[in-house]
Amino acid sequence: MANPFAARAGIVAVGCAIGVTAVLLQYSGNPPNMGICVACFERDIAGALGLHRAGAVQYIRPEIIGLTVGAFLAALIAKEYRPRGGSAPLVRFFLGVFAMIGALVFLGCPWRALLRLAGGDGNAVTGLAGLAAGIGIGVFFLKSGYSLGRAQTQNAAAGILFPAFMAGLLLLLVFQVTFAEGGPIFFSRTGPGSQHAPLLVSLGAGLAVGAIAQRSRFCTMGALRDVILLRDVHLMSGVAGLLVAATAMNLVLGQFRPGFAGQPIAHTDHLWNFLGMALAGLAFVLAGGCPGRQLFLSGEGDLDAGIFALGMIVGAGVSHNFALASSPAGVAPFGPAGVVVGLLFCLAVGFSMRERTP
Amino acid sequence: MSPSAVKEEQRPMSAIRIDARGLSCPQPVVLTNRAIEAGATNLDVLVDNEVSKENVLRLAKRRRLWASLRQEGPDIVIEIAT
């Protein structure tokens, strides 16, 4: 096959590389068990832009920029850059919003759930179980003909928009523009938002991971979905690689601390850890990719994936402004309500969006 | 029996055609799988991107089906035969 990354050994190697990179980012300054978390980092970007005012989680994360641009460049080189879109964009936007709401009740995307487990955080187990449950519900919809419809080919320039948006964020980060007194761009002085690896390290890691993930089609949601739907363990072998490599690196660096209570940027409310990730998992299936994969697709020119990612960024603003996002102290007052509304939305989407018979 | 012999013997002119262009992952695979489970023995799966091609080929390989590729304008056709 022309693409070695898409072979079994390739996807395992990519999973291992992501796991090692993420743990090294933690070692270089990123928050604990948060070497790369697409949901958390998009949330930090939302905060930096002032879409929410949670002072502890505001930073323009270069990893997100790198993941997108890395995938964009890899797709260009591989001649896979192909602008397309128009498959129910508004539905995808709200799937992104609710995916973020669910992820922030748990406190992490699937990547971080794996990194939390690799760091010894037992609460990740209930999160991952919830993720699998949500994906299981999504598979039911896929089997009964769920579809958001076909994407159409778009103008070549349109596909550059999302990577260009990311490049714009990089400029804001580099020049740290202050648009108003005490106003955006916001950068956390304390808390997770203040913990970050050096800019070039973060950006370089993001670019590398974005490129190899685009080539290998790495997707955490797809891993679970393909096992449930097709008994296909191809993507799962990459996820296993990530988990094993990250755990090994944590052990080597003395970052492995097993337990449930007092885990970094985590809480022990098992019910809402489970249900938050169930919502996220269901939304990922309905949108066709985990948050990381959506960034890589955006880089390839998938405008619908870009809409989903923007939905996630807006969803982070909603989560923190309306007391939906959890904190280490526990679930926020309106978090459970947000998850219930999100599940109802996703079920409505799943039941109502069927492929049209030609 | 060589794969090409299978093709000669078992591929009638009218293979079932699945148009999976523009569909996002995993729908091309789901549609192909559904057709196979419904008893289709000859399939032409039309896709418009590398990822869908890789996924459908992987499905065919896992189900031990004969598969080959042909280009059709900008699109890729995966021919599958049982």
Cβ–Cβ under 8 Å, residues A185 and A60: yes
Output the pLDDT for position B53. Answer: 95
Q: Test A289 with B25 for CB contact under 8 angstroms.
A: yes
Q: What is the pTM for the complete model shown?
A: 0.95
Task: Flag whether pLDDT at A2 surpasses 90.
Answer: no
Q: What is the C-alpha separation between A198 and A172, in angstroms, rounded? A: 16
A37: closest CA of chain B, how far (Å)? 23
pLDDT in tens, A272-313: 999 999 999 999 999 999 999 999 999 999 999 999 999 999
Q: Is the pLDDT of residue B6 over 50?
A: no
- Please state, in angstroms and rounded to a whole number, the distance separating the CA atoms of residues A78 and A15: 20
Report in angstroms the alpha-carbon separations of A104 from A42, A128, A195, A216, A276: 11, 14, 18, 27, 8
Percentage of residues of chain A with pLDDT beyond 70: 99
Mean pLDDT of A64-81: 97
pLDDT for B3: 46
A232 to chain B, minimum CA–CA distance in Å?
8
Nearby residues of B71 by Cβ (< 8 Å), 6 or more positions away: B77
DSSP calls for A55-110: TTS----HHHHHHHHHHHHHHHHTT----EE-SSHHHHHHHHHHHHHHHHHHTS-H
A121: helix, strand or coil: strand
CB pairs under 8 A between A and B: 49
For residue range A8-19, what is the model confidence (pLDDT) as tens digits? Answer: 999 999 999 999
Please give the backbone phi and psi of residue B72, each rounded to the nearest 5 degrees, phi first.
Answer: -135, 95
ipTM score for this prediction: 0.89
pLDDT over 60 (residue B12): no
Task: Give the 3-state secondary structure of residue A187.
Answer: coil
pLDDT in tens, A143-154: 999 999 999 999
B21, B33, B58: residue with CB nearest A234: B58
- CB–CB contact B22 A148 (8 Å): no
pLDDT of residue A326 exceeding 60, the answer is: yes
The C-alpha angle with vertex A75 and arms to A71 and A81, in degrees rounded to 5, equals 120
pLDDT tens figures, A166-222:
999 999 999 998 898 888 999 999 999 999 999 999 999 999 999 999 999 999 999
In sign, the C-alpha dihedral spanning A71, A73, A74, A75 is positive
| Nearest chain A alpha carbon to B18 | A358
